[in-house]
């Protein structure tokens, strides 16, 4: 069951990010970028399909309305800022074998493990380089559906507790549970993890026997690089300004799957990859939010961000304790078919209010059009707002 939870955490929408572990683990890729000088303790929680991610320090507005326009961000030249492009490549039915995944001693940092026969898995949905050294994942399946197959090279993972099985003379450790199959093996300092919620044992082992190792440029689409999105020199898609801080949001997308990361300007922030959003069928993604509390204080800080269709002109966010923030969604680099928003507040706690028992600090989000008509409403437990 732990392997099944790990598969779920790593293979769908966006990351829950916090110093304090979430009460519920969502199906996400995890990353944290916490300021070393911050003593704020972040509390993360998940409700339904809404994902929450903590960042440090937000707008001090108490119990009053606040309206914010996007911060003025200087235009960066290509040699200063390098937004992740969307690269279209041909989608073949097979991958030319660079070399089969046999008794490898190591896999180079720019290499990926992929299936050689895509007829069993579907096309590459997206490839993501996760924060930190050497962790990368490919996801295969029909676009717009849960992945058929995930393959991760993980330099942080410990050895699997699965059952040893022999596949073409190579030992894998296999886990087979209802609705979940997983196989792992160690190569050098990396754990190769192959998992699926759709394939049975026989189909999974066929995939294992045909795995191949290829270089990054041989992938059908360019990987989304989380490390680039965590780089302050990469152009943001949305910003939010308080009296002393500017929060930024950076993004990349492949085939409608998005990576988004936020930064509070002091080294705090987070995000993740894999959120699927189609503006033709949806008004808004579930969104990401977080709440933090600094010890020996009577306030909490809350932050929220999300992706919306271009029809949405204004976002109103109701946080706890009658605090409302209004922002304008943007795409500051002008390369996406959607808009992004980020907002936050610092809120006084009410007498007897326990910050560790506050779910997300998030009550409701409303999307309005140019005429102030409400296009959609999302409560804390809502998922994607469909049209």
Least confident range of 53-62, 116-125, 248-257, 314-323: 53-62
Give me the residue spans of the domains in the chain: 2-84+223-386, 99-218
Provide the pLDDT confidence category of residue 312 given band limits of 50, 70 and 90: very high
Please tell me the distance from the alpha carbon of residue 235 to that of residue 128, in angstroms, as a whole number: 19
State pTM to two decimals: 0.73
204: tokens are: 């999974």
Which residues sit opposite 50 in a β-bridge?
47
155: tokens are: 């330099």
Taking phi over 0 as left and psi of -120 to 50 as alpha, with beta for the rest, 50 belongs to beta
Least confident range of 215-229, 280-294, 334-348: 280-294
CATH number among 1.10.3470, 2.60.40, 2.60.120, 1.20.1420, domain 99-218: 2.60.120
Estimate to the nearest angstrom the gap between the alpha carbon of 290 and the chain centroid: 14
10: tokens are: 């790593």
Please tell me the distance from the alpha carbon of residue 305 to that of residue 54, in angstroms, as a whole number: 11
pLDDT for 53: 29
372, with CB counted inside 10 A (0-12, 13-18, 19+), is exposed
Opening angle at CA 329, ends 328 and 332, nearest 5: 110
Could you tell me which residue, 268 or 329, shows the higher pLDDT?
A: 329
Which residues sit opposite 342 in a β-bridge?
305
Residues 200-223, mean pLDDT to the nearest whole number: 92
Q: pLDDT digit string (tens) for 87-130?
A: 444 444 544 444 567 666 678 889 999 998 888 899 999 999 98
């Amino acid at each position: 069951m732990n392997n099944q939870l790990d598969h779920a955490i790593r293979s769908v929408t966006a990351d829950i990010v916090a110093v304090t572990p979430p009460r519920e683990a969502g199906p996400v890729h995890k990353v944290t970028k916490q300021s070393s000088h911050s003593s704020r303790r972040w509390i993360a929680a998940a409700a339904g399909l809404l994902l929450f991610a903590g960042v440090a320090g937000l707008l001090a507005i108490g119990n009053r309305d606040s309206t914010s326009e996007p911060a003025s961000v200087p235009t960066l030249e290509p040699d200063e800022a390098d937004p992740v492009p969307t690269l279209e490549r041909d989608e073949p039915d097979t991958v030319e074998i660079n070399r089969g995944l046999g008794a490898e001693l190591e896999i180079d940092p720019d290499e990926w493990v992929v299936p050689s026969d895509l007829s069993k898995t579907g096309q590459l949905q997206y490839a993501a380089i996760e924060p930190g050294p050497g962790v990368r994942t490919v996801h295969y399946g029909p676009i717009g559906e849960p992945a058929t197959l995930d393959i991760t090279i993980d330099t942080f993972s410990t050895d699997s507790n699965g059952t040893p099985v022999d596949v073409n003379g190579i030992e894998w450790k296999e886990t087979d549970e209802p609705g979940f199959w997983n196989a792992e093996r160690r190569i050098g300092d990396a754990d190769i993890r192959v998992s699926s919620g759709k394939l049975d044992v026989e189909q999974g082992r066929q995939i294992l026997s045909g795995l191949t190792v290829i270089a990054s440029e041989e992938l059908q689409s360019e990987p989304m690089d989380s490390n680039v999105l965590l780089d302050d020199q990469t152009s943001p898609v949305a910003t939010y300004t308080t009296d002393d801080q500017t929060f930024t949001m950076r993004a990349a997308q492949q085939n409608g799957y998005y990576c988004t990361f936020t930064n509070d300007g002091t080294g705090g922030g987070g995000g993740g990859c894999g959120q699927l959003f189609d503006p033709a069928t949806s008004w808004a993604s579930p969104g990401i939010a977080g709440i933090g509390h600094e010890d020996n204080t009577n306030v909490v800080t809350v932050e929220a961000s999300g992706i919306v269709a271009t029809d949405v002109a204004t976002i109103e966010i109701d946080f706890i304790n009658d605090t409302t923030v209004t922002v304008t969604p943007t795409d500051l680099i002008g390369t996406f078919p959607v808009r992004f928003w980020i907002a936050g507040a610092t809120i006084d706690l009410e007498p007897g209010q326990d910050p560790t028992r506050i779910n997300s600090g998030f009550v409701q989000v409303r999307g309005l059009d140019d005429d102030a008509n409400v296009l959609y409403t999302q409560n804390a437990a809502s998922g994607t707002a469909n049209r």
